[in-house]
Chains A and B, each alone.
Chain A
Amino acid sequence: MTDRLFPTQEIGSLMKPRWQLLGQRGEALDEAARADFVHWNDLLHFVPSDDPTLQKFLGDRSREVGAETVRDWAALFLLRYLEATGLDRVYDGEARRIEMYEYPVRQMKGFQFLGHVRSFDNKYYLKAAGTGEVRLDRPYHVEEFEFVRDHARAVPKLPITGPYTLADWSYNEYYLRRHEGWKGREVRRRAQRDFVVEIARQAIRPTLAALIEQGCRVIQIDEPAAGTHPQEAELVAEGFNAATDGLDAEFSMHICFSDYRPLFPALLEAKRCTQWAWEFANRDTDGRDGYEVLNLFREYGDTRQIGLGVLDPHRDEVESPERVKDRILRAVKILEDPRRIWVNPDCGLRTRRLEIAYAKLQNMDRGAKLARAEVAGTAG
């Protein structure tokens, strides 16, 4: 894919521009949304300026453009946005996705949505129960990938929610009901294994196969729930293996905002995972080395690639190139092999304004360049 040291990649979703939200709803653009579109299009040229539909969109006929066109423009915009920051692997900022749970679950049979559960404060998510055997209606993300494949100038990397997270964020009724008697810890553990593995085999694997069939070569399996129940790390790995069984692609596993230590060594049994793309920068603060946890890979002799989180997605502060460089070199020092390191944000930058995220990604690219120069200088 790339021979240079410290290649860079995106990791997740970006904030949806206001013009996309208004356009998808068929609402007229306000002045700020229009100016924002013009600003980015002048910079990235994702819609030709003589496109008659564009004239409608920016004029007083934006309602006539249609949600599909606006979605395509948003996907193209975020693709060019990521490419412009110099990334080696890109996607579309998940421009067509609302979230990472409800959509995949709605593509499957055997689930029933029960209502909203609070995540925190006044934030909620719709939660489903597995009430029957898990089956796939049809592979998903495929059309989205085809669009990216057809337009990307850099290598596309597709993110998809992993089986463990889909199971953990659902209630398990069907597989629990199959176990008789009191549903104590051991029964719940066995039922959860059945649930995870069935989601992996029946829904995720066929979807991955369909994506690979369409040319998808690099796939990031998102398992943000992996750290929720550390004693189930073995199950995260088992789900990963079942989802990727017999498939030929590069698979990474993204985990964030978790205590990684208890996941070792069980998680390392995810044999088809070629890269661990984790969050580190968030925990790298004054007086605390966020990269110290990389020692665990040395401790357990795991030599796979590391997707090194160097940008904190929850802060507006734009990391300087020097800070990015320092973080990369810190990882080099621990891992003792610069060729294993990919550079990325900790997680999706969707909570940052697009100007901020852009500045962060640009500095990530600059920081990777500085690190390359320094390693080359040391080697020379």
Chain B
Amino acid sequence: MQAITSLTSAFPRSEALVEATRDLDRGRTTPEAVQELYLRTEAEVARLEERLGLQPRTGGYLRWQDLFRPFAESWEGFTVGPLTRWFETNQFYRQPILHAPPARVAGAIASWLPLPPGASGPRKAILPGPYTFAGLLDNRSGETSEALTHRLGRLLAEEVQELRAAGYSAFQFQEPLLVYRPPEGARAEAVVAAYQALTTAAGGGTVAVWTYFGDAQNVWPLLNRLPVSLVGVDLSETDALALAPAPERRGLGLGVIDPRTSLVEDPAEVVRLARSIAERHHPTTLWIGSGAPLDLLPWEPATRKLHGLPAVRQGIDAASGAR
């Protein structure tokens, strides 16, 4: 079993970026100056990932105003809607409003990805999962939610193909809604079909489904049916030892960092728990990251929490005999 530590969400903006983006809104700085700071800060996140052995690289997604905004602003069929609470947090997203069946615009999403083309090492794209995307937008398109989930899966699959060509080898889909409001019946089947399209498009690349803000127990049978490389669960919400063993030849993601508290997790305790979970599920790969998005924390505490991950990785590797 291979243990991989990874950024599994957007990273918080630095205090300098907080100040700069506020200044931008108040007309006290220029878009060019903020853009320059984004580039420098993304490079800083990439260096942090390298230093801590977090892979594949992400660059932190600092420019994304929320998980859906690049899509709502660049794909056809959408407008950007009202502020809406982001699950049970004090954060809000602007709900995309879908007025017609959506259509992607070539190159648009790639331009939002933070890593420059020349960045070294394998790269991971973190994108909204089709079920969460379909479920959280305001659907005025006339399509059923099942058809929309399936359609978004196909459109995201086209993005995956484009990103593969740009050098991305891993694709993580954020699916908090899968565990917060599990699908049933035809909607569940639409989720399976959407992930079939995504896995086909990935062409042997890693496809991960990342769940948080809910207990994966509620939807574990469906998660096990998804044709993906690995499924991630939030250990703050899910007792992974109580889950039925995962399917063979599949990876498991463990959200061991809880960004709802600034209290730093004890690496030894994480290793103990991760080992027990691995013994139960026998995953081919174990991804270790945050459960809920790290940008629920400010920059400094988020960084402090990530610094525990190398010790976690080493502890798991030592236990499994990997070198």
Chain A 111-140, CB within 8 Å of chain B: the 1/0 string? 000111111111011010100000000000
**Residue in A183, A185, A225 whose Cβ sees the most chain B Cβ within 10 Å:** A183
Q: Which of chain B's residues has its CB closest to A115's CB?
A: B298
Chain A 207-234, CB within 8 Å of chain B: the 1/0 string? 0000000000000000001001100000
Known: A119-B91, A171-B261. A114 touches B301 (CB 8 A): yes
Asked whether any CB of chain B lies closer than 8 Å to the CB of A176, the reply is yes
Asked whether any CB of chain A lies closer than 8 Å to the CB of B162, the reply is no
Contact of B15 among A115, A121, A168, A169 (CB under 8 A): A115
Asked whether any CB of chain A lies closer than 8 Å to the CB of B66, the reply is yes
How close is A181's CB to chain B, nearest CB, in angstroms? 8
Kindly state the separation between the CA atoms of A116 and B14 in the bound complex, as whole angstroms. Answer: 9
Kindly state the separation between the CA atoms of A145 and B308 in the bound complex, as whole angstroms. Answer: 47
Chain A 166-191, CB within 8 Å of chain B: the 1/0 string? 00110111001100011111001000
Kindly state the separation between the CA atoms of A117 and B93 in the bound complex, as whole angstroms. Answer: 14
Q: Cβ of A176 and Cβ of B261 under 8 Å apart?
A: yes
Kindly state the separation between the CA atoms of A6 and B49 in the bound complex, as whole angstroms. Answer: 60
Q: Which of chain A's residues has its CB closest to B34's CB?
A: A122
Known: A122-B22, A182-B269. A171 touches B262 (CB 8 A): yes
Known: A117-B296, A173-B262. A124 touches B236 (CB 8 A): no
Known: A177-B263, A183-B236. A120 touches B296 (CB 8 A): no
Q: Cβ of A185 and Cβ of B12 under 8 Å apart?
A: no
Kindly state the separation between the CA atoms of A184 and B301 in the bound complex, as whole angstroms. Answer: 20
Kindly state the separation between the CA atoms of A168 and B261 in the bound complex, as whole angstroms. Answer: 11
Kindly state the separation between the CA atoms of A229 and B65 in the bound complex, as whole angstroms. Answer: 23
Residues of A within 8 A of B13 (CB): 116, 118
How close is A148's CB to chain B, nearest CB, in angstroms? 29
Q: Which of chain B's residues has its CB closest to A228's CB?
A: B88
Known: A115-B301, A124-B22, A127-B298. A184 touches B236 (CB 8 A): yes
Beta-carbon contacts under 8 Å, B242-288 to A? 258, 260-263, 265, 269, 273
Residues of B within 8 A of A116 (CB): 13, 15, 18, 298
Residues of B within 8 A of A182 (CB): 235, 269, 273
Beta-carbon contacts under 8 Å, B178-223 to A? 215
Kindly state the separation between the CA atoms of A169 and B262 in the bound complex, as whole angstroms. Answer: 12
Residues of A within 8 A of B301 (CB): 114-115, 129, 171
Known: A183-B261, A183-B263. A228 touches B15 (CB 8 A): no
**Residue in A118, A124, A125, A185 whose Cβ sees the most chain B Cβ within 10 Å:** A118
Kindly state the separation between the CA atoms of A188 and B261 in the bound complex, as whole angstroms. Answer: 9
Chain B 294-320, CB within 8 Å of chain A: the 1/0 string? 011111110000000000000000000
Q: How large is the interface on B (under 10, 10 to 19, 20 to 34, 35 or more residues)?
A: 35 or more
Kindly state the separation between the CA atoms of A120 and B215 in the bound complex, as whole angstroms. Answer: 26
Q: Which of chain A's residues has its CB closest to B84's CB?
A: A120
Q: Cβ of B258 and Cβ of A114 under 8 Å apart?
A: no
Kindly state the separation between the CA atoms of A189 and B87 in the bound complex, as whole angstroms. Answer: 17
Known: A117-B12, A119-B91, A119-B92. A173 touches B239 (CB 8 A): no
Q: Cβ of A120 and Cβ of B235 under 8 Å apart?
A: no
Q: How large is the interface on A (under 10, 10 to 19, 20 to 34, 35 or more residues)?
A: 20 to 34
How close is A27's CB to chain B, nearest CB, in angstroms? 15
Q: Cβ of A120 and Cβ of B12 under 8 Å apart?
A: no
How close is B121's CB to chain A, nearest CB, in angstroms? 27
How close is B97's CB to chain A, nearest CB, in angstroms? 15
Kindly state the separation between the CA atoms of A125 and B297 in the bound complex, as whole angstroms. Answer: 11
Residues of B within 8 A of A181 (CB): 269
Known: A117-B12, A118-B13, A228-B88. A185 touches B18 (CB 8 A): no
Kindly state the separation between the CA atoms of A158 and B298 in the bound complex, as whole angstroms. Answer: 32
Q: Cβ of A124 and Cβ of B18 under 8 Å apart?
A: yes
**Residue in B90, B260, B296 whose Cβ sees the most chain A Cβ within 10 Å:** B90
Q: Cβ of B298 and Cβ of A121 under 8 Å apart?
A: no
How close is A291's CB to chain B, nearest CB, in angstroms? 20
Known: A115-B15, A120-B93, A228-B89. A185 touches B263 (CB 8 A): no
Asked whether any CB of chain A lies closer than 8 Å to the CB of B21, the reply is yes
Beta-carbon contacts under 8 Å, B76-109 to A? 83, 85, 88-94
Residues of A within 8 A of B85 (CB): 228, 257
Q: Cβ of B262 and Cβ of A114 under 8 Å apart?
A: yes
Known: A124-B18, A169-B90, A183-B258. A117 touches B235 (CB 8 A): no
Q: Cβ of A121 and Cβ of B262 under 8 Å apart?
A: no
Residues of A within 8 A of B236 (CB): 183-185, 188
Kindly state the separation between the CA atoms of A129 and B298 in the bound complex, as whole angstroms. Answer: 11
Q: Cβ of B237 and Cβ of A185 under 8 Å apart?
A: yes
Q: Cβ of A115 and Cβ of B299 under 8 Å apart?
A: yes
Kindly state the separation between the CA atoms of A299 and B38 in the bound complex, as whole angstroms. Answer: 53
Q: Cβ of A172 and Cβ of B300 under 8 Å apart?
A: no
Kindly state the separation between the CA atoms of A159 and B271 in the bound complex, as whole angstroms. Answer: 47
Kindly state the separation between the CA atoms of A127 and B91 in the bound complex, as whole angstroms. Answer: 12
Asked whether any CB of chain A lies closer than 8 Å to the CB of B39, the reply is no
Contacts A/B (CB < 8 Å), 29 sampled: A114-B297, A114-B300, A115-B15, A115-B298, A115-B300, A116-B13, A117-B90, A117-B298, A118-B295, A119-B92, A121-B65, A122-B22, A122-B65, A129-B263, A168-B90, A169-B90, A171-B260, A171-B261, A183-B258, A183-B263, A184-B236, A184-B239, A185-B215, A188-B260, A188-B261, A225-B90, A228-B90, A229-B88, A257-B85
| Chain A interface residues (CB < 8 Å from chain B) | 114-122, 124-125, 127, 129, 168-169, 171-173, 176-177, 181-185, 188, 225, 228-229, 257
Q: Which 6 A-B pairs have the closest CB atoms?
A: A115-B298, A122-B21, A171-B262, A120-B92, A116-B18, A129-B262
